[in-house]
Amino acid sequence: MAHGLDRESKDLDRDTMERAYARWAPIYDAVCGPVFEKGRRAATAAAKYVGKRILEVGVGTGLSFQDYGPGYEIYGIDLSEPMIAKARERMATGAFPHVKEVSVMDAHDLTYPDGMFDCVVAQFVITLVERPERVLDECARVIRPGGEIILVNHLYSERGVAAAIERWFSKHAHTFGLRPEFPFQRLKDWADNHGGAEVVDRSFVGPLGVYSLVRFRKLGAGDAATPPLAAAG
Ligand SMILES: C[S@@+](CC[C@H](N)C(=O)[O-])C[C@H]1O[C@@H](n2cnc3c(N)ncnc32)[C@H](O)[C@@H]1O
- Name the band, by pLDDT with cuts 50, 70 and 90, for residue 48: very high
- Determine the distance separating the centroid of ligand 1 and the alpha carbon of 56, expressed in angstroms: 10
The CA 97 to ligand 1 mean position distance, Å, reads: 22
What is the mean predicted confidence (pLDDT) over 104-121?
98
Mean of pLDDT over the chain: 87
What are the Cα distances from residue 69, in Å, to 8, 57, 116, 146?
37, 18, 20, 23
Burial class (CB in 10 A: 0-12, 13-18, 19+), 233: exposed
Residue scoring higher pLDDT (15 or 60): 60
For the chain, how big is the Rg over CA atoms in Å? 17
Taking residues 83-104, report their average pLDDT.
98
Banded pLDDT at 45 (limits 50, 70, 90): very high
Q: Are 139 and 149 a contacting pair, CB within 8 Å? A: yes
pLDDT mean over 110-137: 96
Residue 40 has pLDDT above 50, yes or no: yes
pLDDT of 158 reads 61
Position 174 scores a pLDDT of: 56
**In the prediction, which pLDDT does 207 show?**
80
pLDDT in tens, 136-155: 999 999 999 999 999 999 88
- The residue to mutate among 80, 125, 178, having the most atoms of ligand 1 within 8 angstroms of its beta carbon, is 125
pLDDT value at residue 231: 45
133 vs 221, which has greater pLDDT?
133
What do you get for the CA distance between the two ends of the chain, in Å?
26
User: How remote is the CA of residue 229 from the centroid of ligand 1, in Å?
Assistant: 34
Going 154 to 156 to 162 to 168, the CA torsion angle's sign is positive
Query: What CATH code is assigned to 10-219?
Result: 3.40.50.150
Kindly report, residue by residue over 164-185, the tens digit of the pLDDT: 666 665 665 555 555 656 789 9
Pocket-forming residues, ligand 1, beta carbon under 6 Å: 17, 21, 36, 40, 58-60, 63, 77-80, 83, 106-108, 123-125, 128-129
Span from the CA of 104 to the centroid of ligand 1 (angstroms): 11
pLDDT at 6 over 60: no
Written in H, E and C, the secondary structure of the chain is CCCCCCCCCHHHCHHHHHHHHHHHCCCHHHHHHHHHHHHHHHHHHHHHHHCCEEEEECCCCCHHHHHCCCCCEEEEEECCHHHHHHHHHHHHCCCCCCEEEEEECCCCCCCCCCCCEEEEEEECCCCCCCCHHHHHHHHHHHEEEEEEEEEEECCCCCCHHHHHHHHHHHHHHHHHCCCCCCCHHHHHHHHHHHCCEEEEEEEEECHHHCEEEEEEEECCCCCCCCCCHHHHC
pLDDT in tens, 198-212: 999 999 998 888 889
| All structural domains of the chain with their residue ranges | 10-219
pLDDT higher than threshold 70 for residue 7: no
**Which of these, 181, 138, 128, lies nearest to 156 by C-alpha position?**
181
pLDDT for the residue 8 = 45
pLDDT at 223: 82
Which of 16, 75, 128 has the most ligand 1 atoms within 8 A of CB, as the residue to mutate?
128
How far is the C-alpha of 125 from the C-alpha of 4, rounded, in Å?
A: 20
